[in-house]
């Protein structure tokens, strides 16, 4: 599904791994952290505009945190949200942007074990944090019990709210807020599911909470 | 050989990708050297741009390009109308002139190195306008009334005379708010030009149409455009058309010669990507004392834009849902200074059935006849609108099954008669219906020597489970286990599929897959031993003979129980049941989810959702997910879904009628009828608000 079939066209002869690695570096550079020479992949070099990229921000904040057990030391625009840093900088696109307004929960991640909406917090505020995103839940290919329960109980349809729901569910269970169906409904109401998969979400949280 | 996988509750084949974050949505196809585009929207509701201070913003850090009608490339905008586009009118030509047609119209585009730089520049761009007062209210006397060219009026008998002579009659008017689809995934496009070839990773429910539309807009050959969309984060109709942001992403990529990502903000999702039009409806019913309808007049007006005629089947179901010798339906449009609406889940029927089913409920109280009994007395033997038999119709069976399961007989018939402590309890019911369409689709199947079958169609999966259900169809037809079938969708270079909407994906794409599988099996019989892959492509469409002989629709009965707090006016749906006769159910697990989700959408329509426009400038004042209310987890009642066994040998080879739309139709009237039962207050305006319940 999310396999190469959907990537190939524009890549031409550039292989995916190096393209995406370069992408990370070039974005880093453009954010003003690096002033080194070009990192634009050759395949695209002939289409690059003549003007050198202008640094995007005059000031850069130094931040270091760990995401899913991997330490990242970044220099970034201090105005960037944690969500944008995940999605556009670290390429952890499992965390979703639904509203960018703190109102939907699609961007929920765990920061030091607590669930927060990553669109409403600045990345620069989280130095030293231990962050968990949807990509970090499964270990060695084994799904987290909450992930398994979401599949088993049809806790999603389109899947876009799902990473946020699952992370939120992990938080909800850890907080001890999964004691009854009503409690689950209440404490999971910060995560909107427009597909309306709520009954499945509740069943999944209850199941996973029981197993833990 | 049959594997009997159709009808089985197969778990989603893409489940693992979705719970691990590996499923990639349009905005996640990051490209190397990618730039970001952000749209600047008009802040007046009508008028023209008098000045844009582009130079100031062009100097801001990271900005690569600032585009407006002053310097944007003139695009070809060749004529193109896909099956999903309004037949009358002309699409918005973006950044091609200084005219502002509605609030939020894109008027400039910033392209920058990072999203943040683009957003900052967009916020800083100063634009001056010459503004006029827009007409944005369908009830505004200045709104131009149009008889839509799509013409959907229906007349049989003499409804006016029969109404005047009816022993019992009632007249009522209904007002349903504009809604926005608000899928969780915002629209997004990543555009990459390589020479004169364009690739778009773009959120679309209709990739082959997006390909054709963009090729027409840029004046390039169809085969130069590739549209890719493996996953859709919900859409409900908003991604059926190719809106202006797709053009802008491609334009930005061409001007800067860089891959460009453009994602709409949540606020922008209220401007240019369609909406369920607000509707005003009038229903007049005449009946005998024993509840037999003698006259039905149903008139409705929907919003459209000034530049296109968007029309939907608002009043169509009144010609076939109930038996009545004298019927008139009229459909009109009001042309407003807003963007063009688009189909939203259960388009037309969701609004029209609300009016009809509210009126029928009202009639049942007037006559002191049980609401279900009233439906029974008016159950038609055939589609009286077109004088054809139904291919199948299980409405009364749905009512019977539902009445038993919902314990309808425990309901006290009188309004305001049921209490739970201080809460007023109401139980209501309504019919649901939606046409069973089938459109032309193709599919390709390849049998590999390894025993794997690859199936490809340019179809979409916005959530119902196309990946899974099509895998089941192929596995069953080929006699293979599920895990030997690899189904792919969402590429415009795959065999074409129709738009992913109108509840016709299974009927259309499923039928094509089945046909391709059958022909590849025949091929295999001819060449029993070969190492080379066997391949077959098939194209199917509705059998014209069947279409001429039958009226084809799905039907359902929807039950709702509400609890209303008389002191603060809060309305809670406590339990709900949807019973549907929708032909064969391919996967009961997915079907139940789909219907549950539709019913929850119906709760939103009944009690929460409305896009409110500022009369002065057409600005949507609640373009925010905290202000545009939608059902959350705690709003969800105990919901049950049931399917009655229905074998329809005519509708299509798979015998399916589709579920996505009908699941939302019927819920809002069931709730409004329950509200009446609880309070004795007939609310004819959606959403029903707290203040409507004051002194309930
Ligand atoms: S994207 Fe953060 S709450 Fe919606
Ligand atoms: S699964 Fe689609 S929004 Fe929740």
Query: If contacts are CB pairs under 8 Å, which of residues 361-420 in chain B contact chain A?
Result: none
> How does residue A141 score in pLDDT terms, banded at 50, 70 and 90?
confident
- DSSP tag of B347: T
pLDDT at B93: 98
Is pLDDT at A8 greater than 70 in this prediction? no
Q: Which of B683, B693, B696 is nearest to B355 (CA)?
A: B683
Answer yes or no: is A128 within a domain: yes
Distance CA(A136)–CA(B274), nearest Å, equals: 37
B180 touches chain A (CB under 8 A): no
Q: How many helices and strands (H and E) does chain A possess?
A: 8, 5
* Contact residues of ligand 2, CB 6 A cut-off: A 156-162, 193-195, 197; B 184, 234, 463
Is pLDDT at B28 greater than 80 in this prediction? yes
B18:A166 CB<8 A:
no
pLDDT in tens, B535-547: 999 999 999 998 8
Number of domains in chain A: 2
A108 CA closest ligand 1 atom index: 2
Dig out the tokens for B186 from the structure. Answer: 């915002």
Distance CA(B489)–CA(B466), nearest Å, equals: 9
> How does residue A212 score in pLDDT terms, banded at 50, 70 and 90?
low
* CATH code of A152's domain: 1.10.150.120
State the sign of the Cα–Cα–Cα–Cα dihedral A53, A54, A57, A60.
positive
Least CB–CB distance from B61: residue in A57, A94, A198: A57
Read off φ and ψ for residue B664, nearest 5 degrees. Answer: -95, -30
Contact B638, B574 (CB under 8 A): yes
> Both A183 and A156 in a single domain?
yes
pLDDT at A23: 41
> Both A79 and A120 in a single domain?
yes
For residue A158, give its domain range: 138-212
The percent of residues in chain B predicted with pLDDT above 70, rounded, is 100
Contact B433, B665 (CB under 8 A): yes
> How does residue A3 score in pLDDT terms, banded at 50, 70 and 90?
low
Which sequence positions of B are flagged as catalytic?
661
Distance A55 CA to ligand 2 centre (A): 37
Beta-ladder partners of B304: B335
Answer yes or no: is A124 within a domain: yes
> How does residue B33 score in pLDDT terms, banded at 50, 70 and 90?
very high
Least CB–CB distance from A200: residue in B193, B593, B630: B593
Least CB–CB distance from B234: residue in A14, A30, A158: A158
Where a domain ends, among A88, A109, A136? A136
Output the DSSP codes for B99-164: EE-STT-EEEEEEESSHHHHHHHHHH--EEEEE------TT-TTSEEE--TT---EEES-HHHHHH
Is pLDDT at B194 greater than 90 in this prediction? yes
Is pLDDT at A22 greater than 60 in this prediction? no
Show the domains of chain B with their CATH numbers: 15-23+439-541 (3.30.365.10), 31-132+184-234+239-272 (3.30.365.10), 279-437+548-693 (3.30.365.10)
Distance A103 CA to ligand 1 centre (A): 6
> Both A98 and A151 in a single domain?
no
- Taking CA–CA distances from B18, the nearest residue in chain A reads A159
A159:B598 CB<8 A:
no
B265:A100 CB<8 A:
yes
* Contact residues of ligand 1, CB 6 A cut-off: A 97-107, 117, 119
> Both A177 and A204 in a single domain?
yes
Weakest mean pLDDT among B100-109, B457-466, B522-531, B633-642: B522-531
Is pLDDT at A190 greater than 90 in this prediction? yes
Least CB–CB distance from B630: residue in A147, A166, A194: A194
> Both A142 and A211 in a single domain?
yes
Average pLDDT rounded to a whole number, residues B251-270: 98
Question: Of all protein residues, whose CA lies closest to atom 3 belonging to ligand 1?
Answer: A102
- Taking CA–CA distances from A99, the nearest residue in chain B reads B266
Average pLDDT rounded to a whole number, residues A102-113: 98
3-state helix, strand, coil in chain B (%, to 5): 25, 25, 45
B59 touches chain A (CB under 8 A): no
B196 touches chain A (CB under 8 A): no
Q: At what angle do helices B244-256 and B207-218 cross, to 10 degrees?
A: 50
Scanning B483-510, the segments in alpha helix (DSSP H) are 505
* CATH code of A105's domain: 3.10.20.30
Q: Which of B559, B553, B598 is nearest to B578 (CA)?
A: B559
Is pLDDT at A116 greater than 50 in this prediction? yes
Is pLDDT at B8 greater than 90 in this prediction? yes
ipTM confidence score: 0.97
Query: If contacts are CB pairs under 8 Å, which of residues 289-328 in chain B contact chain A?
Result: none
Answer yes or no: is A197 within a domain: yes
Answer yes or no: is A93 within a domain: yes
**Closest ligand to the CA of B232:** 2
Least CB–CB distance from A58: residue in B11, B61, B592: B61
> Both A149 and A209 in a single domain?
yes
Is pLDDT at B145 greater than 50 in this prediction? yes
Is pLDDT at A11 greater than 60 in this prediction? no
Distance CA(B278)–CA(B295), nearest Å, equals: 26
Answer yes or no: is A40 within a domain: no
Is pLDDT at B2 greater than 60 in this prediction? no
Read off φ and ψ for residue B523, nearest 5 degrees. Answer: -60, -45
> Both A148 and A118 in a single domain?
no
Answer yes or no: is A192 within a domain: yes
> Both A77 and A105 in a single domain?
yes
pLDDT in tens, A54-98: 444 557 899 999 999 999 999 998 989 999 999 999 999 999 999
CA distance B208 to chain A (A): 15
pLDDT at A27: 38
> How does residue A29 score in pLDDT terms, banded at 50, 70 and 90?
very low
Q: How many helices and strands (H and E) does chain B possess?
A: 15, 26
> Both A164 and A187 in a single domain?
yes
Average pLDDT rounded to a whole number, residues B94-123: 97
Answer yes or no: is A48 within a domain: no
Average pLDDT rounded to a whole number, residues B639-660: 97
Is pLDDT at B532 greater than 90 in this prediction? no
> Both A155 and A173 in a single domain?
yes
> Both A145 and A203 in a single domain?
yes
Per DSSP (E only), the strands in chain A are 61-67, 70-76, 108-111, 114-117, 130-132
Average pLDDT rounded to a whole number, residues A201-210: 97
Indicate the average pLDDT of chain B.
96
State the sign of the Cα–Cα–Cα–Cα dihedral B628, B632, B637, B641.
positive
pLDDT in tens, A155-174: 999 999 999 999 999 999 99
Where a domain ends, among A90, A106, A136? A136
The percent of residues in chain A predicted with pLDDT above 90, rounded, is 68
Is pLDDT at A45 greater than 70 in this prediction? no
> How does residue B314 score in pLDDT terms, banded at 50, 70 and 90?
very high
State the sign of the Cα–Cα–Cα–Cα dihedral B262, B268, B270, B273.
negative
B20:A147 CB<8 A:
yes
pLDDT in tens, B490-524: 999 999 999 999 999 999 999 999 999 999 999 99
> Both A183 and A115 in a single domain?
no
Count CA atoms within 13 Å of residue B631 on its CB side: 29
pLDDT at A9: 54
- Taking CA–CA distances from A147, the nearest residue in chain B reads B19
Weakest mean pLDDT among A36-45, B240-249, B413-422, B431-440: A36-45
Partners of A168 on chain B (C-beta within 8 Å) are: none
CA distance A18 to chain B (A): 9
Q: Which of B252, B191, B221, B228 is nearest to B76 (CA)?
A: B221
pLDDT at B144: 80
Where a domain ends, among A97, A113, A136? A136
- DSSP tag of B411: S
Indicate the average pLDDT of chain A.
81
pLDDT at B374: 98
Q: Which of B143, B148, B145 is nearest to B87 (CA)?
A: B148
Average pLDDT rounded to a whole number, residues B373-389: 98
> How does residue B615 score in pLDDT terms, banded at 50, 70 and 90?
very high
Answer yes or no: is A98 within a domain: yes
**Closest ligand to the CA of B462:** 2
Non-local CB neighbours of B12 within 8 Å, separated by 6+ positions = A151, A154, B18, B465, B467, B468, B590
Contact B670, B576 (CB under 8 A): yes
CA distance B492 to chain A (A): 11
B169 touches chain A (CB under 8 A): no
pLDDT in tens, B557-613: 999 999 999 999 999 999 999 999 999 999 999 999 999 999 999 999 999 999 999
**Closest ligand to the CA of A107:** 1
Distance A22 CA to ligand 1 centre (A): 28
B609 touches chain A (CB under 8 A): no
């Amino acid at each position: 599904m999310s396999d190469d079939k959907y990537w190939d066209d524009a890549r031409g002869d550039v292989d995916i791994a190096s393209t995406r690695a370069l992408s990370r570096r070039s974005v880093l550079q453009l954010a003003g952290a690096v002033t080194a020479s070009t990192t634009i992949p050759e395949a695209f070099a002939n289409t690059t505009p003549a003007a050198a990229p202008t640094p995007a921000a005059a000031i850069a904040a130094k931040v270091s945190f760990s995401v899913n057990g991997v330490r990242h030391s970044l220099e970034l625009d201090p105005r960037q949200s944690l969500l944008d840093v995940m999605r556009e900088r670290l390429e952890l696109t499992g965390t979703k942007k639904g509203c960018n307004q703190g109102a939907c929960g699609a961007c929920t991640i765990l920061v030091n074990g607590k669930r927060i909406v990553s669109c409403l917090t600045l990345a620069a505020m989280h130095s030293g944090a231990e962050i968990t995103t949807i990509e970090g839940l499964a270990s060695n290919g084994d799904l987290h019990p909450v992930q398994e329960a979401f599949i088993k109980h049809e806790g999603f349809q389109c899947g876009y709210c799902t990473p946020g729901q699952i992370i939120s569910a992990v938080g909800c269970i850890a907080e001890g807020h999964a004691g009854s169906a009503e409690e689950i409904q209440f404490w999971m109401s910060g995560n909107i599911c427009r597909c309306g998969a709520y009954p499945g979400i509740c069943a999944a949280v209850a199941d996973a909470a029981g197993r833990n | 050989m049959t594997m009997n996988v159709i009808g089985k509750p197969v778990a989603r084949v893409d489940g693992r990708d979705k719970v691990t974050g590996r499923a990639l949505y349009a905005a996640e196809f990051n490209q190397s050297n990618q730039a970001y585009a952000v749209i600047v929207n008009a802040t007046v509701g009508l008028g023209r741009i008098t000045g844009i201070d582009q130079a100031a913003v062009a100097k801001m850090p990271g900005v690569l390009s600032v585009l407006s009608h002053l310097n944007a490339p003139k695009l070809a905008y060749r004529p193109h109308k896909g099956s999903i586009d309004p037949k009358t009118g002309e699409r918005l030509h973006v950044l091609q002139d200084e005219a502002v047609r509605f609030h939020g119209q894109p008027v400039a585009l910033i392209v920058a190195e990072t999203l943040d730089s683009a957003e900052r520049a967009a916020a800083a761009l100063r634009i001056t306008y010459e503004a006029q007062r827009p007409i944005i209210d369908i009830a505004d006397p200045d709104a131009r009334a149009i008889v839509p060219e799509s013409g959907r009026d229906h007349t049989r008998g003499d409804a006016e005379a029969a109404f005047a002579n009816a022993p019992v009659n009632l007249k009522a008017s209904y007002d349903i708010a504009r809604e926005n689809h608000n899928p969780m995934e915002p629209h997004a496009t990543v555009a990459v030009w390589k020479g004169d070839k364009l690739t778009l990773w773009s959120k679309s429910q209709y990739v082959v149409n997006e390909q054709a539309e963009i090729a027409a807009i840029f004046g390039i050959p169809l085969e130069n455009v590739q549209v890719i969309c493996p996953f859709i984060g919900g859409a409900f109709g908003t991604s059926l058309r190719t809106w202006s942001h797709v053009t802008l992403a491609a334009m930005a990529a061409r001007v800067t010669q860089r891959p460009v990502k453009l994602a709409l903000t949540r606020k922008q999702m209220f401007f240019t990507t369609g909406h369920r039009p607000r509707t005003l409806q009038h229903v007049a019913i005449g009946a005998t004392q024993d509840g037999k309808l003698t006259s039905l007049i149903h008139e409705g007006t929907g919003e459209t834009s000034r530049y296109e005629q968007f029309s939907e089947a608002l009043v169509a179901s009144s010609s076939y849902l109930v038996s009545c010798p004298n019927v008139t339906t009229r459909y009109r449009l009001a042309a407003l200074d807003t963007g063009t609406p688009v189909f939203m889940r259960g388009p037309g029927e969701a609004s029209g059935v609300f009016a009809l089913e509210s009126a029928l409920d009202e009639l049942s109280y007037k006559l002191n006849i049980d609401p279900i009994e009233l439906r029974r007395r008016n159950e038609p033997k055939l589609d009286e609108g077109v004088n054809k038999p139904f291919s199948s119709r299980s409405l009364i069976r749905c009512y019977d099954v539902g009445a038993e399961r919902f314990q309808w007989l425990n309901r006290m018939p009188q309004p305001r008669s049921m209490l739970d402590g201080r809460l007023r309890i109401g139980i209501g019911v309504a019919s649901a219906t939606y046409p069973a369409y089938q459109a032309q689709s193709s599919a390709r199947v390849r049998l590999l020597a390894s025993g794997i079958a690859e199936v490809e169609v340019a179809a979409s999966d916005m959530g119902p489970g196309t990946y899974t259900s099509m895998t089941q169809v192929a596995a069953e037809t080929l006699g293979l286990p599920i895990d030997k079938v690899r189904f792919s969708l969402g590429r415009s270079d795959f065999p074409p599929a129709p738009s992913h909407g109108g509840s016709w994906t299974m009927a259309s794409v499923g039928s094509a897959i089945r046909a391709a599988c059958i022909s590849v099996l025949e091929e295999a019989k001819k060449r029993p031993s070969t190492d080379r892959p066997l391949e077959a492509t098939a194209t199917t469409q509705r059998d014209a003979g069947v279409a001429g002989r039958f009226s084809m629709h799905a039907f359902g009965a929807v039950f709702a129980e509400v609890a209303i707090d008389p002191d603060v006016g809060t309305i809670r749906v406590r339990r709900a049941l949807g019973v549907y006769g929708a032909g064969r159910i391919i996967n009961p697990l997915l079907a139940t989810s789909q219907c549950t989700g539709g019913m929850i959408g119906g709760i939103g329509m009944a009690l929460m959702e409305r896009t409110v426009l500022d009369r002065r400038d057409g600005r949507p004042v609640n373009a925010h997910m905290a202000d545009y209310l939608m059902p959350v987890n705690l709003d969800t009642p105990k919901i049950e879904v049931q399917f009655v066994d229905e074998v329809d040998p005519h509708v299509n080879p798979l015998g399916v009628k589709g579920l996505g739309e009908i699941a939302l139709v019927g819920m809002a009237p069931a709730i409004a009828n329950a509200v009446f039962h609880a309070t004795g207050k007939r609310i004819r305006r959606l959403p029903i608000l707290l203040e409507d319940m004051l002194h309930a």
